[in-house]
Each structure stands twice: as C-alpha cells, then as structure tokens.
C-alpha cells in the first residue's frame, strides 16, 4: 500500500481549507503539515491553531511533521488540534523515547524523522515503538528543493531492518523533492508514504497530479 501525503507548505495559504479539501478530493490519503519554529530550521510556518481550524474541513489523515527544537513541549497541542500522526526529529532537543510515549499516549501514531546527514541506524533502537520513520530527502526548512539520491541507501537499509524485525507494517515516509521524476526510486527502495509539495501544488489538475504520482510509484514495484 502506497500513501500520498501532499505537503501543505506549497499550497495557497490564503485558502488553505479549500486547498486541503481539493487535495483530499483529488485522492490524497494524508495531508502533510510542516511545522517550523525558525530555530530547528531557518524558517517559520504555522502552529496548532491552524491545524485545529483545518480539522473539521478534511477527513484526511493529518500527518504532522514537527521541525521544532522542543517537540515534547508541543505534542499535546498538536495532538489535540487533530493530528493523526506526529513525527519529530531525532536531532531535536527532546528525549526521544519520552516524546514517542507522549505521542502514543494520545492514541495517535508516532513518527521519527531523520535529517540527511543523520545515519539511519540511529532510529533502530526505537523501531519497536514507532509507527513511522520519516527519511528527509532534502535538508528540512524549505519546499521546492532537489531530491537527494544519496538518501536511497538509507531507505533500503531501513526497509531491510524492518523486515528483519517483522515490522512489515512500518510506514516509511520520504519527504523532499518527490515528483514523478524521483518517486519511482523512492518507492522501489521501500518508501510507502510519499510526501510531495511543489510537485503536486504546482499542477492545475490535482487529481491527475496525485494519480500520476501514485501510478509512477506503483509501477516501480512491478
């Protein structure tokens, strides 16, 4: 099963509700919500109040990606705002296990994210507790960057490790530079949650954009 998660970072923020609904109606499985604090990454986006307002608009899975220095402090806010999955960075200042436990205490899925320079082996001790691992395929902070092909071995290694541990259910998310030109490599390597911002929102026909991406991903599995 492949899931498509459009990154709202590339939407028209003057009509974020309409954009979310349009992507959901276009067949997106999730909506990827990028939270940046201007400290963990050199950019600022939006906070939990925006997610709270979006929640009644869309039934899609809210896939919240915290790019913030102290995720543990804000897990409650983002969970209560309506997140279905919360991912945070292993490179953040919060204790990893405690933050995972806090996310799970709200009955939602927990994801652990790794920046490009972080070895994938660093997430292995937490795999038993995790629902998702997010492999950044660009440096976090901005949409519209190029896919880093040298991240492919990390996806392959993680997939292998999950298999070894009997965790075929693990969500393996790739985020950054995903488009019809790059998605096949990511999916063939084992990624099953595909985040795409600029590649989807730059298209006029969202339905076609989501379908094309999904089709390209599936075709790489054959």
Q: Which residues are identified as catalytic?
A: 34, 175
What span, in angstroms and rounded, lies between the C-alpha atoms of 85 and 190? Answer: 20
Site string for Zn ion, 165-184 (x = CB under 5 A): ----------x---------
Residues 154-193 that bind ligand DX5 (CB under 6 A): 175-178
Is there binding between residue 24 and Zn ion (CB under 5 A)? no
Closest chain position to ligand DX5 (CB): 197
Q: Which two tokens stand for residue 12?
A: 């028209």
Residue spans of alpha helices (H) in the chain: 16-25, 48-54, 71-80, 96-105, 152-164, 183-189, 198-201, 206-219
Which of Zn ion, ligand DX5, none sits in contact with 176, Cβ below 5 to 8 A by type?
ligand DX5
Which of ligand DX5, Zn ion, none sits in contact with 196, Cβ below 5 to 8 A by type?
ligand DX5
Site string for ligand DX5, 9-48 (x = CB under 6 A): xx---------------------x-x--------------
Closest CA to 5 of 200, 188, 159, 218: 200
State the DSSP H helix or E strand holding residue 110, giving kind and residue range, or none if neither.
strand 109-114
Query: Which span (6-14, 51-59, 89-97, 165-173) binds ligand DX5, by CB under 6 A?
Result: 6-14
Which of Zn ion, ligand DX5, none sits in contact with 79, Cβ below 5 to 8 A by type?
none
Token pair 């990390």 in the structure block, residue: 154
Q: Which two tokens stand for residue 83?
A: 């997140």
Is there binding between residue 65 and Zn ion (CB under 5 A)? yes
Residues 51-80 that bind ligand DX5 (CB under 6 A): 65
Q: Output 217-220 pairs: Cβ under 8 A, ≥24 positions apart.
A: 217/2, 217/183, 217/184, 217/186, 217/187, 218/2, 218/187, 219/184, 220/183, 220/184, 220/185, 220/187, 220/188
* List of residues contacting ligand DX5 (CB under 6 A): 7, 9-10, 32, 34, 65, 138, 140-141, 143-145, 175-178, 195-199
* List of residues contacting Zn ion (CB under 5 A): 34, 65, 175
């Amino acid at each position: 099963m492949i899931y498509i998660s459009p990154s709202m970072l590339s939407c028209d923020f003057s009509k974020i509700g309409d954009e979310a609904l349009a992507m959901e109606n276009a067949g997106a499985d999730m909506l990827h919500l990028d939270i940046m604090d201007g400290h963990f990454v050199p950019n600022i986006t939006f906070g939990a109040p925006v997610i709270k307002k979006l929640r009644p608009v869309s039934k899609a899975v809210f896939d919240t990606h915290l790019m913030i220095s102290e995720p543990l402090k804000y897990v409650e806010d983002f969970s209560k705002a309506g997140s279905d999955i919360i991912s945070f960075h292993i490179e953040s200042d919060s204790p990893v296990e405690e933050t995972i436990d806090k996310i799970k205490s709200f009955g939602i899925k927990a994801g652990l994210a790794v920046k490009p320079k972080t070895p994938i082996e660093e997430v292995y001790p937490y795999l038993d507790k995790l629902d998702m691992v997010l492999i950044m395929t660009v440096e976090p902070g901005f949409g519209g960057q190029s896919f880093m092909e040298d991240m492919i071995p990390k996806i392959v290694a993680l997939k292998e490790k999950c298999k070894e541990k009997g965790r075929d259910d693990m969500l393996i998310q790739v985020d950054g530079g995903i488009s019809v030109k790059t998605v096949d490599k990511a999916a063939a390597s084992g990624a099953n949650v595909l985040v795409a911002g600029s590649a989807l929102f730059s298209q006029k026909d969202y339905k076609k954009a989501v379908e094309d991406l999904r089709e390209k991903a599936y075709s790489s599995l054959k």
